[in-house]
Every structure is written in structure tokens, then in C-alpha cells.
């Protein structure tokens, strides 16, 4: 079994979800991007235990750093900023923890559930376009969350499918989360064209009545 240290192991999935149609393009590969030697910030312990998927301060910092790094990269290419969507974030967090708990790294869980299943389990009315990037990285002592996020983005940029997912102009919403097992980080990013919960449609105004 290959050991992915200190590189990222990454995987991207792009899907179009419309009623009755599901198109999938998936790739799983090794990317040799690692954090560059830059001035390290305060050390974060990313091996904090989780309770009922509670997010440690270090993982929260990493999540926020990932949003910033992804949006910075999108801005440099002229793409619009992604809006944080807590609904998709919950999907990403569930999948990250599931990969840690069941010791796998894939878009498809051991019981056969894929990103479409996870999306529709929470949001059965979702019909937009969605993509998923995942990454696994060994925890490196002294590496700041900013550098970890930078390395993730660099790894995704180095692969055409990941880059397409991350920089697509049609994606305007995202949910990012991470989990760890004390040795490695599992990062999941869900990108979509529509928010998880749409605002209710305005009720049509009542027409004015006219007397005879």
C-alpha cells in the first residue's frame, strides 16, 4: 500500500445534477505539491479529537484558511468568489469524518454512497451543478494552517480536473471541511452552482378587483 507523505493525495469529481440525469467525471491521483518553506505561523495541533463531528479550533482555522486560499486563487483568474454554504459544509464534514473513521480515501464510501447520494440525502430538491475535490495530507509538525491550505490549493491547481472544479465560474457556493486521525488530514471541498437552501419564491400579488 503506497504511503502518501508528505505529498497530497487528491481526488476530484465533477457532476451535473438535473432531473433524471447524472454525469460523472472522476480522477484519483498523486500530486507532488507540498507546502513551501515560508515563515511558519503559530503551531496548530491538528490532531485534536472530535466529538459528534465537533470541529476543533485548529480544524476551524484550517477551514477558514482554505476558503481564503481558494477565493484568492479564483480572484487571480477572474472567477467570482465562492460563498460559504453551511449546508454543503455539513456534507463535506460528514464525508471527511467518514473517510477517517472507515480508513479510506475516495468519493465513494465503502457502502457505495457517492457524492450524489450524500447531496440528495440532505437536499433532495437540489438540481444544480456540483463538484467535489478531496485531499489527504500527512500532519507536519510546525506547519501553519495557512501553509497547509496553500499546499492543498497548489495540489489541486496542478491537476486539470481539480483546477477545473476549483476555478469554474459556474460554481458560486462551497462547503469545505477537514478531519484528521492524528497522522493525516482529510479535506473535502464541495462546490456548487446553487445554494443548499433556496429562499422561498415570493407569492404572486393578488390582482385588484374591479366592480361592475
Cα–Cα distance measured from residue 38 to residue 150, given in angstroms and rounded to the nearest whole number:
11
Cα–Cα distance measured from residue 13 to residue 17, given in angstroms and rounded to the nearest whole number:
13
pTM assigned to the model: 0.73
Cα–Cα distance measured from residue 195 to residue 120, given in angstroms and rounded to the nearest whole number:
13
Cα–Cα distance measured from residue 182 to residue 137, given in angstroms and rounded to the nearest whole number:
11
**H or E element, residue 63:** helix 57-76
* 3-state SS assignment for residue 34: coil
pLDDT in 10s for each residue of the chain, 212 residues: 222 223 345 555 554 433 322 222 222 222 222 222 222 333 333 333 333 466 899 999 999 999 999 999 999 999 999 999 999 999 999 999 999 999 999 999 999 999 889 999 999 999 899 999 999 999 998 999 999 999 999 999 999 999 999 999 999 999 999 999 999 999 999 999 999 986 666 776 665 444 44
CB 139 within 8 A of CB 186: no
Amino acid at each position: 500500500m503506497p504511503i502518501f507523505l508528505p505529498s497530497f493525495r487528491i481526488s476530484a469529481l465533477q457532476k451535473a445534477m438535473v432531473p433524471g440525469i447524472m454525469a460523472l467525471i472522476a480522477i484519483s491521483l498523486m500530486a507532488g505539491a507540498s507546502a513551501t518553506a515560508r515563515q511558519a505561523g503559530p503551531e496548530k495541533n491538528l490532531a485534536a479529537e472530535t466529538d459528534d463531528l465537533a470541529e476543533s479550533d485548529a480544524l476551524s482555522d484550517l477551514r477558514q484558511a482554505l476558503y481564503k486560499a481558494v477565493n484568492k486563487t479564483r480572484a487571480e483568474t477572474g472567477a467570482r468568489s465562492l460563498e460559504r454554504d453551511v449546508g454543503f459544509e455539513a456534507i463535506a464534514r460528514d464525508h471527511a469524518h467518514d473517510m477517517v473513521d472507515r480508513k479510506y480515501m475516495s468519493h465513494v464510501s465503502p457502502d457505495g454512497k457517492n457524492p450524489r447520494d450524500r447531496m440528495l440525502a440532505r437536499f433532495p430538491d437540489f438540481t444544480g451543478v456540483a463538484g467535489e475535490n478531496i485531499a489527504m495530507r500527512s500532519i507536519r509538525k510546525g506547519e501553519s494552517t495557512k501553509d497547509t491550505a496553500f499546499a492543498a490549493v497548489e495540489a489541486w491547481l496542478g491537476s486539470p480536473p481539480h483546477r477545473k472544479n476549483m476555478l469554474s465560474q459556474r460554481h458560486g457556493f462551497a462547503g469545505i471541511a477537514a478531519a484528521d486521525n492524528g497522522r493525516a488530514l482529510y479535506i473535502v471541498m464541495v462546490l456548487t452552482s446553487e445554494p443548499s437552501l433556496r429562499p422561498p419564491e415570493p407569492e404572486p400579488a393578488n390582482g385588484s378587483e374591479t366592480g361592475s
